[in-house]
A = this chain, B = another copy of it.
Amino acid sequence: MTDSGARPGKRERLVSSASDLLYRQGVERTTIAQIANAADVPPGNVYYYFKTRDDLVHAAIDAQAGEMTTLFAGLERLPDPHARLRGLIHSWTDDCERAAEYGCPMGGLCSELNKVEGDLSRHAAGLIGRLIDWAAGQFVLMGRPDGPQLAVTMIARIEGAMLLANTLRDPQIMFAQSRELEEWVDSLA
């Protein structure tokens, strides 16, 4: 799938609008027409880029994977694994208000797609797997051979805190839980 011959930016706009709408209203409730409208792309043009809504969801997951690559690259410029893990926590909690309003973009997507067996579900699960692997690597660099288990604990705690903050519409939950997590990471360093 390429943009050759098409006005530059349409595909990118569709993916960006899809990501935003999937985040705010979920997969099932989001239509191609809504995405096209939000992207300011005529609905009839969408099929030039994406044959189905699933293709668009797939591309939105790819975009999340791209953001994760950028995040990891930024964190890896930090001097040590302890700082990188703290940075990872901050990447979720920088905007507690938004977390309380809409939850975790990745966690919400996985939770919904978990109900649907198939490629999309596995594709979204790949994001969580990659995140755990990265965090596990950092814990191992910190001298913790139990890095994989610690990484699961850390990501579970973040995802659970996001779910509770979102469910109870309470940013303070995210704020307090991230403080606790930072102290926990400090205690392991």
Contact = CB atoms under 8 A, between A and B. Distances in A.
Interface of A: 24-26, 28-29, 102-103, 107-108, 110-112, 114-116, 124-125, 128-129, 132, 149, 152-153, 155-161, 163-164, 166-169, 173, 176-177, 180
A24, A129, A168: residue with the most chain B Cβ atoms closer than 10 Å: A168
Interface of A is mostly: helix
B164 A156 contact: yes
A116 B156 contact: no
Nearest to A124: B167
B166 A155 contact: no
B164 A177 contact: no
Given A160-B161, A161-B160, A108 B115 contact: yes
In the A-B complex, the 3 residue pairs with the smallest Cβ-Cβ separation, listed nearest first, are A160-B160, A28-B28, A156-B160
Contact of A163 (B149, B159, B166): B159
A124 B167 CA distance: 8
A156 B153 contact: no
Given A110-B163, A128-B164, A152-B173, 20 more contacts: A24-B115, A25-B115, A28-B28, A29-B115, A103-B111, A108-B111, A108-B114, A108-B115, A111-B166, A112-B112, A125-B167, A125-B169, A128-B167, A129-B168, A132-B164, A156-B160, A156-B161, A156-B177, A157-B160, A160-B163
B163 A156 contact: yes
Contacts of A110: 163, 166-167
A38 to B, nearest CB: 16
Given A24-B115, A156-B161, A158-B160, A149 B167 contact: no
